[in-house]
Structure 1
């Protein structure tokens, strides 16, 4: 029900940020909705909400970070953020965002989850965000909220979360990998870097992240590739830079993780 444009402001305008947080916490609206436009490079301050948040990227790519990991929100997706979880966001490009806030007794979440936002869900959220400009009758608003809450329960989850280890040495390797992803990175190389046996490394990695090294590597390659694809870089360049021998291998991985080829995915997101 509010729309805020940060594109002409510097990050010191945190007062506006916290004013909107105060509105979210104190409004009597049963399903508060907020629209924002952020410039590339904007970084929000760490904060949390007493409500469950669905943070949707309509345009642009954003990273949301917590103490336990990072989650990427590309266009057409949303991040379900549990109530009480401290997080902050970083804009990889200019971002047009819509968010809704739900009482955790209605929609709860134990951990952040990236969801693909359907056209129906996106349209319903937009109706709520623009309700100040286009007032809704009480009956229509109630119907929109009821349908939206039901639709959120049907949204498909996408593997765009990237757990980060607490171990400092392992965390450094993971951060370096994100800057220079390599699909052929091997367990033995990482184990050698840490002065560990292969078995000890695989046990440590799973204990620290909750997933295998191979699964994490695949997710990290998508994580590093999506901002470049969203910025319009050729798929071939992105695939080769990520360490894939050919575009077919990259496309196979991309389809397995996101359900479509890179070109089809980007066309759908643009539409």
Structure 2
């Protein structure tokens, strides 16, 4: 099934509905929610998913799990998607949202799933395909591609401003001054709101925002300088410490 809204198919009497969709580059899927859980896989391009709890950057050949009822919007950067909409009693992963590794087997199963009949034979080949997909999903590794956002309005506003113009050299002392609290109070406050220290959050935000630009083919040197790194080598080192791969290797993927 291709290029059709889940809203038209939600009542289908099957545990899994598979839909393939092609999006124009830069398309923003406005804030919405689904009754079913969603596995959103990007066969090409990069997706940036935003929920009230934070942002997730989804590189090519990875997927994002979105729990039932979670409000979200998605920026599609050259993306062709394959989505599974899953009834809660068939599969429920932990958390509201997470980026998942997609195995070679899962990738082929996702591509095959959108070719199935909507009301597929649950006892036949397509039913076995769906069951295998659900087994692969349960075993999929979660990836650290999440930028958590605070709930406090003042701190949230400051974090959102940083995500618009990231700078690896912004200091916690600068943020504490702008928010009129001591450095120690700011450190405790930031960790309580995001689950991370400020330096960890700043580093992850810069790396994941860079990842989205890399996947669109931007030069490593340009990205490194825009983020405030002293050199492409310094940027590559930080990138590898955070994601376990160099910018070049991820771009080539």
Check whether TM > 0.5: yes
**Contact (CA 8 Å) 2:217, 2:251: kept in 1 or not?**
no
- Specify every segment of 5 or more residues in structure 2 that has no aligned partner in the other structure, as ranges: none
TM-align CA RMSD: 2.1
1:67 aligns with 2:66: no
Of 197, 207, 221, which aligns to 1:212?
197
1:47 aligns with 2:23: no
Equivalent residue for 2:142?
Answer: 157
Equivalent residue for 2:171?
Answer: 186
Poorly superposed stretches of 4+, deviation over 3 Å: 135-138
Q: Deviation at 1:132?
A: 4.9
Distance 1:256 1:104 in 2: 36
Equivalent residue for 1:12?
Answer: none
Of 60, 80, 86, which aligns to 2:65?
80
Distance 2:150 2:68 in 1: 23
Secondary structure of the residue aligned to 2:39 is: strand
Number of paired residues? 251
Equivalent residue for 1:253?
Answer: 238
Distance 1:181 1:205 in 2: 17
**Contact (CA 8 Å) 1:158, 1:257: kept in 2 or not?**
no
- Specify every segment of 5 or more residues in structure 1 that has no aligned partner in the other structure, as ranges: 5-15
Equivalent residue for 2:219?
Answer: 234
1:147 aligns with 2:132: yes
| TM-score scaled by length of structure 2 | 0.90
Equivalent residue for 1:98?
Answer: 82
Q: Deviation at 1:208?
A: 1.8
Secondary structure of the residue aligned to 2:13 is: coil
**Contact (CA 8 Å) 2:172, 2:198: kept in 1 or not?**
yes
